[in-house]
Structure 1
């Protein structure tokens, strides 16, 4: 076995054979399965990296093709070798995302076009649109014509950095990222770097598509994960823009309270485990955004919608001031208690955007804490309350 002896010539011979036989026949002939992650892209076509390298070895003088068990197809082996030879290898991340932490982490590493000097909004707008659909429980997969119409309209209205109304760009890229499923097409979508070829592929095949099922389930069923993703997208791509019109258009303008139960139940629906998981996501984000401020005229501190949701849920719909004399009996339009989430120590004074230093207060207690003559005493009390309530929830999660 001499992988280091391979040149572009043997690899191109293997790709030519794959083109001649067809992908499935080529894989069957050499005993390989479809690539789970890395694909070789060459002249608009896609090839299974490990199978191509195994077959290419057989084109070396005096050598035989390699079997799948002879070497690894990972980044350090087949994929790395092909990249070293100057080929374009794309990482089609697996869609089997099972953890909240992994999903949010991958959102932070999203690759977008930055040729204009600022990150393009194609993929963020597409993800926000799909998140709104998941929140409302709408069908996960849509015909391409419906996806194209909806996204083209959003890109036309809310693409504030010169984005064209071309939904095929973000969908093809998100498919490569493992976030988007495309059905009813026998071949793999081209990379998102083309123009006419990419548009023609979607027009000809009309794939049924939408968020990958694990992604859709996470965004649809976990408010904490959805808000953590929303925080990342807005703070990364819209920090110098006003995202409010876009959020209203996709139905995410009240996402941080959408899953809160209506007033009435004694126990709001947030488990201790979900609270602890949410705090972990908030802490990871806190590390990434420490000291950052939004790039707007007033430069407000970057705040977390996920943290606000955790505090409201923890409060069970009641003011967290132990000396509260009675919160309003009226409710919001969504039938929620009138509560305001407050940082016990202001962010501008070094406070943390974290549930352990945040409380849910009725308007009266909030006013006292902000400008009442007893505010310093109340702040000390609320610091203890916030820490204790946070500790109680996390302790319960560990016991279970």
Structure 2
């Protein structure tokens, strides 16, 4: 039997099984990942289209379920089958369908075109431009003419690997990856292959488009998200290049690493990085660290070598106070943003095998930083600070556990 033999009855039985096992148990049973683009809507709930079709195949007479590794049709094929059976298909992911970490994974796992030997910059330029717009609160969706004009201009100036002025390519590709929504068009969006067909489709349809709403909201409101995405995009795509001019033009040259999440005043209450947010930041740092720890580059590069997310977590963990227990008093002066004068320090130097992780990092006032770096008692102080870093890190983990236990 073919997939086209599946009827609404088999699909509804697969949906019932998903409800019984729960989404994670259902996906684990059949070896599927969460949908990144197409969800089937049924009685107010959303389900992963490919996994539902794979399970539904097992309800056909004499057939078994199709595991993810055996599924020959893509997500769009599964969505088309379900739509033909009368199910509503949601293209683009609602905030309620994904966790924060899944959205981060979606943004930071963008596939790169490496046909020239190095990753092309089409998609990171597009995402950074859209992130800057979200940060400024500009409209999420734009007419195609406005998107085309803005991106063609950026690609012309910042396409440092010979990128052409063709915004249709990154938009079509990001759309297929679930990172761009398109509206007001006819037919299927073409794949990002071949100049003529893709260009003609966008020219003829003139779709409105932009980031999916949950991704836009994360870029708009979460400094942690912005830093994680910038870290990932620059580390993946801009090795050996200077992204500073691009970041300046899209309005991301001064991301709020040094600012607390809610800069509403100068009181300690503004440093409200929750334990859950701290843990999320550490998890993002660890994912990146697993890919890059121990790597060294021999050439000079303007790309960031250290995690902005880790620095952000430590600064906010400190609540604006020097983390050296022997501090004799940090300077009363503040920065132009009315924030404490603090510097994030790696207690164990990265060059000596230290980690770019909050468990080995502390926030120090300039005086304590100088003692730790050049003072005669620096070795003793380093031992103390390493213990402090671990204690502060464990305290945040404990706080998250306590808050989770208190939830009903």
2:288 paired residue number: 285
| Stretch moving more, 310-319 or 128-137 | 128-137
Secondary structure of the 2:72 match is helix
Asked if 2 retains the 8 angstrom alpha-carbon contact of 1:107 and 1:229, the reply is: yes
> Could you tell me how far 1:157 is from its partner in structure 2?
0.9
1:163-189 residue CA offsets vs partner (Å, 9 max, x unmatched): 011111101100000010001113222
- Which residue in the other structure is 1:79 paired with? 72
Any stretches of 5+ residues in structure 1 without a counterpart? 12-26, 40-48, 54-65, 83-91
Shift of 1:136: 2.3
C-alpha root-mean-square deviation of aligned residues, in Å? 3.4
Q: Distance in 1 between matches of 2:334 and 2:74?
A: 63
Q: Does the aligned pair in 2 maintain the 1:179–1:212 contact within 8 Å? A: yes
TM-score calculated relative to the size of structure 1: 0.77
Moved more, 140-149 or 116-125: 140-149
2:171 & 2:149 partners in 1: Cα distance? Answer: 13
Alpha-carbon offset, residue 118 of structure 1: 0.6
Q: Which runs of at least 4 in structure 1 moved beyond 6 Å after TM superposition?
A: 36-39, 66-69, 71-74, 298-301
Q: Quick one: structure 1 residues 181 and 94, their matched pair in 2 at CA, closer, same or farther if it must change by over 3 Å?
A: closer
Matched position secondary structure for 1:79: coil
Q: Deviations over 1:187-230 (max 9, x none)?
A: 22211112122112112222111111121122222222221121
After TM superposition, give the deviation of residue 270 of structure 1 in Å. 0.9
* Structure 1: distance between partners of 2:264 and 2:219: 21
Report the TM-score, using the length of structure 2 for normalisation.
0.75
Compared with structure 1, are the counterparts of its residues 386 and 263 closer, same or farther at alpha carbon in structure 2 (3 Å cutoff)? farther
Which residue does 1:125 correspond to in 2?
Answer: 125
Please give the alpha-carbon distance, in whole angstroms, between the structure 1 residues aligned to 2:315 and 2:238. 25
Offset at residue 332 of structure 1 (A): 2.3
Equivalence for 1:350: 353
Call closer, same or farther: CA 1:74–1:146 in 2, change over 3 Å.
Answer: farther
Alignment equivalent of 1:318, drawn from 321, 341, 361: 321
1:21 counterpart residue number:
none
Q: Which runs of 5+ in 2 are unaligned?
A: 13-34, 39-48, 76-89, 404-408
Measured against aligned partners, the alpha-carbon deviations of 1:205-263 in whole angstroms (never above 9, x if no partner) come to 22111111121122222222221121111111112111111111111122242752265
Give the 3 Å change call, closer, same or farther, for CA 231–294 of structure 1 in structure 2.
farther
1:383 aligns with 2:386: yes
Give 1:369's match in structure 2, choosing from 353, 362, 372: 372
Matches for 1:1-400 after TM superposition, within 5 Å:
2-3=1-2, 70=60, 75-76=68-69, 79-80=72-73, 95-96=93-94, 98-257=98-257, 260=260, 261=263, 264-267=266-269, 268-294=271-297, 296-297=299-300, 302-400=305-403
Residue-pair matches, total: 344
How many angstroms does 1:329 deviate by?
2.6
Contact 1:182–1:209 at 8 Å: present in 2 too?
A: yes
Flag the 1:172–1:301 CA change in 2: closer, same or farther, 3 A: closer
Answer with 1 or 2: which has the greater Rg: 1
